[in-house]
């Protein structure tokens, strides 16, 4: 199953690979070189297909937990000052996605989308500390009955050149469902209220819509 954001690229890539393979077969005489080029073309096609894969993951619907919005590796877990929306302290969990990860962005909690804003910017490597405020990015805030307002930020990386965000103010966000896509390497930051119990550590690998990254117990 592939994400709809990849349909055009997949079709174009398939056509180019087929045409190039036919040209190679017709004009390249050396058998070893012909085989090498055709295998290389097949590898390129497989990489494009795996990048846009969209595995089916039914929503978890955990009211007292935050689900990872993306697949990837946790690179930051710390208390920070969030300047754009809260202008105050929050707990930040950042997840880096390599080009080999699934790049679907999923809603971390259920609630109402109360803020959604796109920012043009630079294309620093996604793990750079300043990428959260300097890179091309979108900021989305979902108001949840248990956690209050949860902010997540899609950040373009050095290779990514397009962020797709489906969240619009007033939308109903359903935890674990499709909220967007980032093409070719990126990062997502999640900002949670102080006092939230973080369930992940730096260096840990997580899967979007499956692994829990935080929870909040009743006082």
Q: What are 152-202's pLDDT values in tens digits?
A: 999 886 555 578 899 999 999 999 999 998 876 688 999 999 999 999 999
49-53, 81-85, 130-134: segment of lowest average pLDDT? 130-134
Q: Is the pTM of this model over 0.85?
A: no
Query: What is the domain class of 65-215 according to CATH?
Result: mainly beta
Which entry of 13, 68, 132, 186 is annotated as an active-site residue?
Answer: 186
Q: Is residue 186 among the annotated active site residues?
A: yes
Distance between CA atoms of residues 151 and 22, nearest Å: 49
Domain chopping of the chain, boundaries: 4-51, 65-215
- For residue 9, the model assigns a pLDDT of 79
148 Cβ contact list (under 8 Å, min separation 6):
193
Which tens digit of pLDDT belongs to each residue from 8-66?
A: 878 988 899 888 988 888 888 888 888 898 889 888 888 777 777 778 888 777 888 99
DSSP 186: E
pLDDT at 131 over 60: no
Which of the residue ranges 68-82, 89-103, 155-169 has the most confident prediction, judged by mean pLDDT? 68-82
Hey, CA dihedral for 159, 161, 166, 169, is it positive or negative? positive
Stretch (H or E) spanning 141: strand 137-144
Taking Cα atoms as reference points, which of 113, 187, 197, 116 lies closest to residue 149? 113
CA atoms within 13 A on the CB side of 3: 24
Residue 102: C-alpha distances to residues 178, 181, 189, 205, 214 (Å) = 12, 9, 16, 12, 21
- Nearby residues of 214 by Cβ (< 8 Å), 6 or more positions away: 65, 66, 91, 93, 190, 192, 196, 197, 198, 199, 200
């Amino acid at each position: 199953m592939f994400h709809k954001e990849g349909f055009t690229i997949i079709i174009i890539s398939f056509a180019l690979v087929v045409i190039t393979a036919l040209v190679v077969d017709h004009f390249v005489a050396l058998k070893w070189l012909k085989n090498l080029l055709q295998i290389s073309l097949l590898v390129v096609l497989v990489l494009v297909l795996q990048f846009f894969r969209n595995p089916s993951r039914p929503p978890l619907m955990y009211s007292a937990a935050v689900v990872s919005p993306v697949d990837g590796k946790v690179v930051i877990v710390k208390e920070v000052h969030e300047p754009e929306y809260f202008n105050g302290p929050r707990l930040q969990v950042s997840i880096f996605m390599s080009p080999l990860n699934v790049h679907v962005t999923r809603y971390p909690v259920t609630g109402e989308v109360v803020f959604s804003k796109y920012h043009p910017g630079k294309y620093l490597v996604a793990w750079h500390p300043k990428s959260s405020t300097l890179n091309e990015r979108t900021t989305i805030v979902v108001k949840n009955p248990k956690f209050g307002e949860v902010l997540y930020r899609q950040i373009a990386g050095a290779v990514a050149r397009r962020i797709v965000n489906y969240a619009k103010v007033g939308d109903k966000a359903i935890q674990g469902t499709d909220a967007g896509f980032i093409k070719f390497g990126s990062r997502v930051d999640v900002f949670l209220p102080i006092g939230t119990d973080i369930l992940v550590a730096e260096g840990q690998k997580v899967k979007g819509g499956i692994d829990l990254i935080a929870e909040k117990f009743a006082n």
